[in-house]
Amino acid sequence: MRSPVQEYLESIVEQCGGTDGEVASYIPELADADPDGFALALATIDGHVYTVGDADLRYSIQSISKPFTYALALADQGFEAVDAKIDVEPSGDAFNEISLASDSGRPRNPMINAGAITAASLVAGDDGQHRFQRVLEWYGAFAGRELDVDDAIYDSEITTTHRNRAIAHMLREFEVLQGHPEDALAQYVRQCAISVDTRDLALMAATLANGGVQPVTGARVLETTSVERVLSVMATCGMYDSAGDWISAVGMPAKSGVSGGIIAVLPGQVGLAVYSPRLDKHGNSARGVQLCERMSRDMEMHLMHVGRSSNTAVRNRFPLSQVASRRRRPEADQAVLDEHADHSTVYELHGDLLFAGVEHVVRAVVDDSPELAIVDVRRVDDVADVARVTLRGLRAMLREAGSEAAIVDPEGVLRDPDAGSDQASPMFDDLDSAVRWCEDELLRRHGDGPTDEQTLVDDHPLLRDLSPEARSVLDAEMEQVTFTADEVVLDKGCDFAGVHVIVSGSAAATVEGPDGTRVHLVTMHPGTSFGELALGTEGIQETCIRAVTDLTLLRLSAESIERITDEQPRVALEMWRAMARDGYREADRTLRSGIVST
């Protein structure tokens, strides 16, 4: 099936087919470019690349190199050292203006040539050669492949670049550059001659859109704070003397190059690249600008147009009473829980936790002031530091109010700095275990504590309402069986093997997920039973049950059930009636958790 996104991109390329502008001629090798050469690439932050035109056509990166070298200078020297040499103010000047501060000679920003040559000189390395090698590898890390240099472009440019040579010497005069200015100049010109295609550029842009993590390789190339800095400078200075216009009309941090490329970044969403070598009077690709404006307008790709991220942070919020643990409680315990479980709350979080999202969470918790809380972060992708700190503050507030939050975080995304200490929150791998912990805690607070395991088994709903006669028949039929840790008790697909009540130890139920991985459903503890659901699925066991620890079970086998049904109708009637109730109870319990989570 064709993608409508692909279709859309093709249609706007067709509609924005302008042939305005001229191919750059001031570097002889650039003048040879096919004026009709064209490519568009859009890379998502999970690494899918849509392309139109010749996305594999190579050309020299030219000024699109500037933000990436600036990023490397920031990574190598830190903000303070770089800021001392290069300012971040828009110059309002054309790309080849010298734009140095009259007193210090400090270039106005790293997107003009003077700032870019200075940034190149700030890359760590003994000389221009070494520094260039680092630059080449660095760009490759953004593109996700090894890049190389177009020597013909370098040779052509290094001999004709009089203005940049003048700039380099002027920077040396002000001592903004150290060492021989030809060294920095050669390094800069070689960086401009690095050969890329439009797919590379889109992925380089998408790495910035993705907060510094390359979408395909998954490598963190750049720290978040440096990404923010680079994008800020691109937003205000990336498109030369039309920065205000660009940010109003297109609304994406961007950078253009004289060979005809443009990259644009929509943080958190996509990286874009366009190639068309005919340039407008500002030195930007004419068709590239036209396409970026069109896409921004059509696709609402404006930086200032963002989703309300806070709305989705709390995926669900419901009282503990709506999600009873699978542990079956004796009636007295259940009465305590019925009275108190409404005042404890489960919060399911979701997505990336930024400030607004975590504020939403905190406000919900503060409003509820729950006796106990469960914070389920299994669906959280990324946690900003502010979220981590705020959640820690929330924990302190909860404790001050006599409350406690149990955390469901099997992947450890919260990275609690107190983990391992007695300040740590109770942590669980699944919701049911957290619910069970909260219920036990409520029973300690409001009752005599959780009932012991033997009582839980004796009081199992399948057994507790039976007449003494029926009970003694079933007790006699039930056999004790044991399994060692990790052993499979019931495999998916096997025939109904009876009802199994856990006496000691724990077992886990798993299914196969859509992608073939094992999905953990629930951990079951003493007093819980399993196996009976197969009665509802034509006698076929639909989950795999495995012993987590050494496990002792009471089993009422399928054969026993059949025998009782055939031979002792009165007892069987009680047994089946108890199972009918148990089945509907399970259906109700599960439906209830379903209501709150759908």
Binding-site annotation, residues for substrate: 63, 113, 157, 164, 188, 240, 258
Nearer to a copy of itself (CB atom), residue 279 or residue 408: 408
Shortest Cβ distance from residue 519 to a copy of itself (Å)? 7
The two tokens of residue 251 are 């609304």
E strands in 441-528? 479-483, 488-490, 498-504, 507-512, 518-524
- The number of residues in the chain equals 598
Nearer to a copy of itself (CB atom), residue 33 or residue 524: 524
Nearer to a copy of itself (CB atom), residue 49 or residue 438: 49
Number of neighbours of residue 580 by Cβ within 10 angstroms: 10
Shortest Cβ distance from residue 454 to a copy of itself (Å)? 24
Token pair 């919900």 is found at 364
Per-residue b/e over 317-334, b at no fewer than 16 CB within 10 Å? bbebbbbbbbbbbbeebe
Nearer to a copy of itself (CB atom), residue 10 or residue 453: 10
> Does an H or E element contain 50, and which?
strand 49-53
Shortest Cβ distance from residue 61 to a copy of itself (Å)? 22
The two tokens of residue 393 are 């503050």
Shortest Cβ distance from residue 525 to a copy of itself (Å)? 18
Shortest Cβ distance from residue 594 to a copy of itself (Å)? 5
Quote the CA–CA distance of 206 and 499 in Å, as a whole number: 54
Number of neighbours of residue 563 by Cβ within 10 angstroms: 13
Amino acid letter, 433: S
Give the dihedral of Cα atoms 28, 32, 36, 42; nearest 10 deg.
Answer: -70
E strands in 210-369? 254-256, 261-266, 270-275, 278-279, 314-319, 345-353
Number of neighbours of residue 246 by Cβ within 10 angstroms: 27
Nearer to a copy of itself (CB atom), residue 395 or residue 525: 395
Binding site members: 63, 113, 157, 164, 188, 240, 258
Q: Give yes or no for a contact between 16 and 287, defined as CB atoms under 8 angstroms apart.
A: yes
Amino acid letter, 305: H
Nearer to a copy of itself (CB atom), residue 189 or residue 208: 208
Q: Helix and strand tally (H, E) in the chain?
A: 20, 23
Q: Give yes or no for a contact between 585 and 461, defined as CB atoms under 8 angstroms apart.
A: yes
Token pair 């009259």 is found at 102
Nearer to a copy of itself (CB atom), residue 193 or residue 254: 254
Nearer to a copy of itself (CB atom), residue 417 or residue 536: 536
Nearer to a copy of itself (CB atom), residue 141 or residue 250: 250
DSSP lists the bridge partners of residue 556 as 499
Q: Distances in Å between the alpha carbon of 491 and those of 487, 507, 514?
A: 10, 13, 18
Q: Directed axis angle between helix 128-143 and helix 113-121, to 10°? A: 100
Shortest Cβ distance from residue 563 to a copy of itself (Å)? 14
Name the nearest CA neighbour of 288 among 2, 63, 116, 31: 63
Shortest Cβ distance from residue 288 to a copy of itself (Å)? 19
Nearer to a copy of itself (CB atom), residue 30 or residue 237: 237
Name the nearest CA neighbour of 239 among 252, 254, 227, 250: 254
Shortest Cβ distance from residue 13 to a copy of itself (Å)? 16
Shortest Cβ distance from residue 228 to a copy of itself (Å)? 4
Shortest Cβ distance from residue 21 to a copy of itself (Å)? 22
Shortest Cβ distance from residue 139 to a copy of itself (Å)? 20
Nearer to a copy of itself (CB atom), residue 485 or residue 519: 519
The two tokens of residue 141 are 């890390």
Residues whose CB falls within 8 Å of the CB of residue 127, separated by 6 or more in sequence, listed in order: 179, 183
3-state secondary structure of 214: coil
Strand 498-504: give its sheet, edge to edge. Answer: 479-483, 551-557, 498-504, 529-530
